[in-house]
Amino acid sequence: MGSFSGFTDRNTQKSIAVQLEGVLLISTDLFPYFVLVALEAGGLLRAVALLVLYPIIWLLNLTHRRTTALHAMIFISTFGLKIHSIKAVAKATLQKFFLEDLRESSFKAFSGCGGKKYVLTRLPRVMVEPFLREYLDVDCVIGTELKVVGRTCSGLVEPTGADRAEMEWFQALKVARGDDQLIDVGLAARKEDRSFLLLCKEHYVISTQENASPLAKKDYPKPFIFHDGRLVTRPDPLRFLAIILWFPLGVILAITRALVGIVLPYKLILPVTALNGFRIRIRIPETQKQTDPKSIVDSPKTKGTLYVCNHQTLLDPVLLSTALLRRFSAVTYSLSSFSEVISPIPTVRLTRDRFKDREIMRSMLERGDLVVCPEGTTCREPYLLRFSPLFAEIADKIVPVAVRARSSMFYGTTARGYKWLDSTFFLMNPFPWYELNLHEPVSGRPDSKELCYDIANGIQTLIGKTLGFECTNLTRRDKYRMLAGHDGIDPRN
């Protein structure tokens, strides 16, 4: 049995069998992944119940009753849930945290083998298979099998799988292999999980105690653009406890911040928000600083100014209005009724009919300044979705605005959850942060439709360069089909 550091052969024809936790992933702790399933598919109370029982789970693991601990976490996090909900969380939420925990050395060794790839894990197979097949090109995933009655999880597990004694790793892999040929390479971590190495020609063991480097984002096997879920960081036990303890205070803080934006005059909002931990930074070109903010763009054909932003959260137009001390209007695609009611600026929904939407936006421009987000939806990662060229057809002068938002605890966007809570979650962060970068005006309303596309692409490139974001041709529809299984119209919102 060799040391993993000696594995340098990159023969693309070799088959490989690898343990997930502790080998491909740096961490061996399964608790955070069950918290994410409980929270996103079952709700906050279920996740809190799992946290309350964590001391018992920890003691079970400490006394080498890992199977009992695993079954307890499975029961609490999955009992009564629809299996399709767990699959949705696995695809939309868990992949982010798996990618962030990938061990660089193991990934490079694993990806260097081009033969058949096997991964063994104690996690339920339904939770890890989407990630392993999509990002690591795994041929066979051996994991715990959930017992499903109809389409509902019973909270129990099937008698077969990789959740019990160590020899079940051996038996499960032997069945999955399907012939008498030994697997070329085997990578394992803990002593009790090494039985499957008997089916491998070369054995390598990774120490879970050593400091390991996670795989850098630039080395991900494919671009990671879309993901969902409310939590920004991995919910380890202590971190998740801190989130739960913060939650009531966060709700109070979010209500306070919202009232400040609704009730106070513009001149007082920025200093008051700074006092409660909300940082807003705005950068205006020197040529615009020397002019009256209310006359940044003078146009003989339209009364208002059109501001074009990349989309970070629902607060983009509100904070731009606050920072410039001007009352704006905004157009949206899927703003909830609740958000419309509490919005401190006028909002109008677009119809997705090009001709009707153009008239709506033109009419709003005639009445004053207008903010549009031509991506049509938000993107959490440093990418820009395709800009719709419609805005270039209605305004003579366009002010591009590069927007960047940061949060440390909760995401203020969702594809599968309740959109009416988006702004609340963002405002619940201890120290939310916003940056607005205004650019010099760009001429609009060209003579041809093709030039409208050029303007939209040019503004997308300009904003992407300012923020360091990569421009893509992906659309709102691509995002929602990938994360939520629909085109972006959710009747709950």
Burial label, 179 (beta-carbon count in 10 A; 0-12, 13-18, 19+):
exposed
Instruction: Compute the C-alpha angle 115/118/123, nearest 5°.
Output: 160
203 phi and psi angles, rounded to 5 deg: -115, 130
Of the chain, the end-to-end C-alpha distance in Å amounts to 56
Q: Which residues pair with 329 in a beta bridge?
A: 370
What is the number of helices (H) and of strands (E) in the chain?
Answer: 18, 18
* Residue of 433, 39, 21, 424 whose CA lies nearest to 231: 39
The token duo for 301 is 């054909």
Residue 214 DSSP one-character state: B
The reported pTM is 0.91
SS3 call for 18: strand
pLDDT of residue 342: 85
pLDDT at res. 300: 44
Structural contact between residues 374 and 283, judged by C-beta atoms closer than 8 angstroms:
no
- Using alpha carbons, select from 330, 391, 325, 387 the residue that is nearest to residue 358: 391
Cα 238 to chain centroid, rounded: 22
Q: For each successive 10 residues of the chain (493 residues), what is the average pLDDT?
A: 52 85 93 98 97 96 90 97 97 97 93 92 95 95 94 90 59 80 88 78 81 92 96 97 97 95 90 93 77 47 80 95 91 81 88 88 91 95 96 92 97 92 96 96 84 94 97 95 81 55
User: For position 179, what pLDDT does the model report?
Assistant: 72
For residue 312, give the DSSP letter: S
DSSP string, 359-414: HHHHHHHHHS-EEE-TT-S--SSSEEPPPPGGGGGT-SEEEEEEEEEE-SSB-S--
Of 465, 464, 487, nearest in space to 384 by CA: 464
Q: How far is CA 129 from the centre of its chain?
A: 18
Give the Cα separation of 315 and 343 in Å (integer).
9
Q: How far apart are CA 196 and CA 203, in angstroms?
A: 10
126: left (phi over 0), alpha (psi -120 to 50) or beta: alpha
Question: Given this model, what pLDDT does residue 462 score?
Answer: 97
What is the per-residue DSSP string for 281-337?
Answer: EEE--HHHHTS-GGGSS--SS-SS-EEEE--SSTTHHHHHHHHTT---EEEESS--H
Which pLDDT value is given to residue 448?
80
- Residue 486 corresponds to which tokens in the numbers above? 């629909």
Per DSSP bridges, beta strands 433-438 and 397-406 are antiparallel
- Contact (Cβ atoms closer than 8 angstroms) between residue 290 and residue 331: no
- For residues 458 and 452, give the distance between their C-alpha atoms in angstroms, rounded to a whole number: 10
pLDDT number for residue 381: 96
Q: How far apart are CA 146 and CA 159, in angstroms?
A: 9
The confidence score (pLDDT) of residue 170 equals 79
